[in-house]
Structures are given as structure tokens and as C-alpha cells.
Amino acid sequence: MLDVLTLDQLRTFVTVAESGSFRSAAARLSRVQSAISHAIANLEAELGLALFDRTGHRPVLTPEGQSLLENARDVLLRVDAMRARARGLGDGVELELSLTVDTLFPIGMVGSALTKMRATYPSVSIRLAVEPLGGPITSLMEKRSSLAIVVGEDFRDPRIALEAISSVEQVAVVSAEHPLARQQSNKKIRLQDLADHLQIVLSDPTPLTEGRMFGVLSPQTCRVTNQDTKHAMILAGLGWGRLPSWQVERDLSKGRLVRLATSALGRNSQVAAEAYLAHRLDEPFGPAALAFRQALMRLIGI
């Protein structure tokens, strides 16, 4: 009967298949070889088929054994995941880490920190969102996220704790084929020159910016919902705008984008904004959130 299959038999089966012999499997599992042979023989008897061909010097998986190997691995993987989650629950580890990141913050760094967190807490699921402007703060206030990375000083709430972690440089750029790029080869760009051309700006998915303008200098605007779209529209020559330096570094070096030569948009057309790791005051860091924070700080160099 299949009901009497044991995890020990399945683990022994997988170990023999991976190590290539009963002797190697016995050494790996710290057992005597006869115990390994006995476990495999019992498993074969319960399944009603041969898993290994033993006629040669080393056991070789039969076609049936090869077919069932992945099933055995899958069962063991699920059991190990269940045990890890149970250990995490016993230690108070979060079932899920929910995080909303400002679109200006380098998402690759977030991914690296999450990877390091998962190495310590493999049972923790991740829910990650990337939102502009008031999105990260709103996600905390609405309890859609337990953590957020916020860029800038424009969004504050007394319920939210902020910890400065780094700064994000934004560069005012335009496509090398845009009229502004050709114009600035002869003279510096004035504020009124910028107003004559379409500005690509982010729109806020929240009501926090209602009635407020952030860095909008031109009466002609193209409003987009995410940073990648803004980047693509500027590259296409549709208009000009500010983009994070980490996002445009390669485009500037390859000459696809150029800095706008104007002192109206910061020294060297560049401005810096502080980035903060944020959480609700009534929801302190759990173990996984703390591991993410520590990993992020190490990556930043704090």
C-alpha cells in the first residue's frame, strides 16, 4: 500500500540516485550500506516495481525509477518548505514581507537585499510594488505594505517612521535628437526655452498630490504612470524630464541622452533627494523585515 511510504525511503531513493551508489548514499546519510539497501528494497516492494538496475557494478535508475525521481524530489521539497515555515512561525517570522518602493530608487539594490533576506528566511513570501510620488507612503497608511522606500521630503505622516538610508540623484535629460539638444550646442537653455517643449512627468496614483505640482516647469506635459515609460518617452525624443542617474548612466555615456545645459534645473542639471526606509509606528520590524533592512544597509555601505 502506498500509505506506508515514508519520507526516509524517499530521501534514501533520491540520495542513491544523486550519489550514484549505495555506498556513497550511506556515507552521505551517515548510515550503514545494508540500511540503505533495505530501505530501497522496501520502497520497491511497496511501489511494486524496480527503481534501480543492480546487474552492473553500480546501480542505474530504471525507466520507472527515472520517472518517479522527480516526484520524490517534489515531495521532499514541499516537506522541507513546510518545516521551514513551521520553524519561522515558531520564531515569529512573517509569512510575507510586503514592500512598496519609490520608482526613483534603484530596484536592483532592493532585489539584492531581498535575496539576502530570503537566504536567512526561505519561508517568507514577498509582495513587491513600485509606485511613484505618494504611492509608497499611501501603501503604508492603507496597510497594503509593511515596509516602504520613500524618496524626497514631500510626503510625511505622523504615523510613519522614516529612516534616512541614501540619496538619489536625478538628472535633467533629453534625447540627443531633440531640438533642445541641438539648441544647447550654441547657447545655454533658459527656463522659457524649457517651457516651449513638452515635459514628461510622472502622475501620482494617490490623492496626496492633488492641487500640487512637483518640478513641472512647462505648460505642455505628457503624464505617465511609471518611470520606465517616462524613460522610454524621453529616449524617443517626445520631450524632456528628470530621471534617476542610475537609470540614465548608460544612455548618457552612449550619447543617446544628453544633460540639459541649464542652471534652472540644478548644478550640472542635477538634484539630489533623500531616500528613506519607512514603516508604520504601530507595526515594528519583524525578523524578515529587519534582515531586509540590514542587507540593504550593507549594500548601501552604511
Mean pLDDT by 10 residues, the chain (302 residues): 75 90 89 90 89 88 90 83 61 82 93 93 90 88 90 81 91 91 76 85 74 68 89 93 92 92 79 90 84 93 78
Q: Are residues 68 and 124 in the same domain?
A: no
Q: Are residues 160 and 291 in the same domain?
A: yes
Position 135 in a domain: yes
Q: Are residues 199 and 137 in the same domain?
A: no
Last residue of a domain, one of 75, 90, 105: 90
Position 302 in a domain: no
Q: Are residues 174 and 270 in the same domain?
A: yes
Q: Which residues of 243-271 are buried (b: 16+ CB within 10 A; e: fewer)?
A: bbbbbbeebbeeeebbbbbbeebbeebeb
The pLDDT of residue 1 is 45
Q: Which residues of 145-165 are buried (b: 16+ CB within 10 A; e: fewer)?
A: bbbbbbbeeebeeeebbbeeb
| Residues ≥6 apart with Cβ < 8 Å to 32 | 26
The pLDDT of residue 160 is 85
Position 301 in a domain: no
Position 244 in a domain: yes
Residue type, 267: R
Position 111 in a domain: yes
Q: Are residues 155 and 290 in the same domain?
A: yes
Last residue of a domain, one of 90, 107, 133: 90
Q: Are residues 117 and 265 in the same domain?
A: no
Q: Are residues 264 and 226 in the same domain?
A: yes
Q: Are residues 80 and 147 in the same domain?
A: no
Position 103 in a domain: yes
- Backbone φ and ψ for 109, nearest 5 degrees, come out as -65, -40
The pLDDT of residue 129 is 93
Beta bridge partners of 207: none
Q: Are residues 28 and 156 in the same domain?
A: no
Position 245 in a domain: yes
- Domains of the chain: total: 3
Q: Are residues 159 and 192 in the same domain?
A: no
Q: Are residues 104 and 238 in the same domain?
A: no
Last residue of a domain, one of 90, 125, 144: 90
Q: Are residues 71 and 124 in the same domain?
A: no
Domain with 201, as residue range(s), is 168-274
